[in-house]
Structure formats: structure tokens, C-alpha cells
């Protein structure tokens, strides 16, 4: 997998035209929608105060060669979780460092601030949510190429700093076009 120019496609042409022409000039019939794969991932039960690591916490294997044009990971932590998430074609997390970045698609880290324990052993001081979206898109005409049959994995590393045991689930949205 590598960052390569995506061959001219009707989709990209339609998107470009739709941004250059007045709204009345483009019709829904002229735009080919992006395909979306939602990869659902989980660490399973993560006990309070523990670090839960799971390589291949979720996966999806495209049946055709694809060009990934964007990735979105919605932060879903309403509680005191530190999450490190990686989307790649590599079978284990933390292999995307150094000079060899083949297979590396996306990585993000975030922390949800919801529970602050102030050294308490029970109860909580819930102060709200830290829900944001972390998204990466590539410049027009570029995409990450993934061959047909190559799995795309989500790897998770979660520190549960809350006062409760949690089932940690995380989804990633892959926006892509299929290679013709």
C-alpha cells in the first residue's frame, strides 16, 4: 500500500465540477457517491485502572482494490479513557514508526475527561462529554491504495482511568473508491 495518485475518475470529476458550478447546475444524478466501510472494533471489557491493548480489535477486507480518500474516527469517550487508535494493514499496532510506513493509514490519540476521581474510591464527578471527530482526508487526486483481499485493521490501546469497568468500543469510517 502506498500514497499514489488516483487515476482520473468520474467521481472526482463530478466532485470538482460540483464545487465549481452553481448549486443549480449540479444534479444528484451527476455525482457518484463514495463508498463507506464502517469497521467496528472493541477491546472487550476493560477493568478500571487497567490498560487494555488489542491488536486487530476490528477488521475489514475489501473484495476489490480500493483507494482510501478519507478516514474518520469519532471519539466516543464520555469517561476518563485515554485511547490510542491505529488503522493499518499491519497485523500489529505500533509498527508504523520509522522509515517504513507501508500499510499505515491513520493514527490518533485522545482522552475523555468525563470522570475525575480526585483520589476517590467510589462515586464520580461527571462533568460531561468530550465527543469530537478525528478525521484525515487526502489531497484531491490522491488516496491510499489497498489491494483486494488485504485486511484493514483497527488496533486499540486504552487506559481506563475511570472508576468503573467498561466495554470499550470504537468505530472507524473508511471513505473509498473501488479501483476500476
pLDDT digits (tens, 9 = 90+) for 108-134: 887 765 545 455 555 555 444 555 668
pLDDT value at residue 133: 66
What is the arithmetic mean of pLDDT over 156-173? 86
- What average pLDDT does range 35-45 have in this prediction? 93
pLDDT tens string 1-17: 444 444 434 444 444 44
Question: pLDDT above 90 covers what percent of the chain?
Answer: 36
CATH of 3-178, one of 3.40.30, 2.60.40, 2.60.120, 2.30.230: 2.60.120
Give Cα 133 distance to the centre of its chain.
9
Decide if pLDDT at 71 tops 90.
yes
**Please, are residues 90 and 104 in contact by the beta-carbon 8 Å criterion?**
yes
What is the structure's pLDDT at 130? 52
H-run or E-run covering 20? helix 10-20
Region 22-32 average pLDDT:
60
Cα radius of gyration rounded to whole Å, the chain: 19
Higher pLDDT, 177 or 98: 177
- Provide the pLDDT confidence category of residue 76 given band limits of 50, 70 and 90: low
Cα separation, 41 vs 17, whole angstroms? 36
Amino acid at each position: 500500500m502506498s500514497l499514489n495518485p488516483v487515476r482520473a475518475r468520474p467521481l472526482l470529476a463530478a466532485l470538482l465540477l460540483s464545487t465549481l458550478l452553481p448549486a443549480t447546475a449540479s444534479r444528484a444524478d451527476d455525482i457518484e457517491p463514495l463508498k463507506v466501510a464502517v469497521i467496528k472494533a472493541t477491546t472487550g471489557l476493560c477493568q478500571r485502572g487497567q490498560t487494555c491493548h488489542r491488536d486487530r480489535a476490528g477488521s475489514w477486507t475489501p473484495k476489490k482494490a480500493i483507494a482510501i480518500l478519507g478516514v474518520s474516527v469519532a471519539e466516543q469517550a464520555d469517561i476518563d479513557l485515554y485511547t490510542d487508535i491505529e488503522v493499518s494493514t499491519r497485523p500489529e499496532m505500533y509498527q508504523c514508526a520509522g522509515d517504513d510506513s507501508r500499510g499505515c493509514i491513520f493514527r490518533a490519540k485522545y482522552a475523555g475527561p468525563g470522570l475525575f476521581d480526585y483520589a476517590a474510591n467510589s462515586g464520580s464527578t461527571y462533568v460531561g462529554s468530550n465527543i469530537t471527530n478525528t478525521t484525515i482526508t487526502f489531497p484531491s487526486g490522491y488516496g491510499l491504495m489497498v489491494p483486494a483481499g488485504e485486511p484493514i485493521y483497527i488496533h486499540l490501546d486504552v487506559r481506563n482511568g475511570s472508576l468503573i469497568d467498561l466495554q470499550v468500543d470504537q468505530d472507524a469510517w473508511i471513505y473509498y473508491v473501488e479501483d476500476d
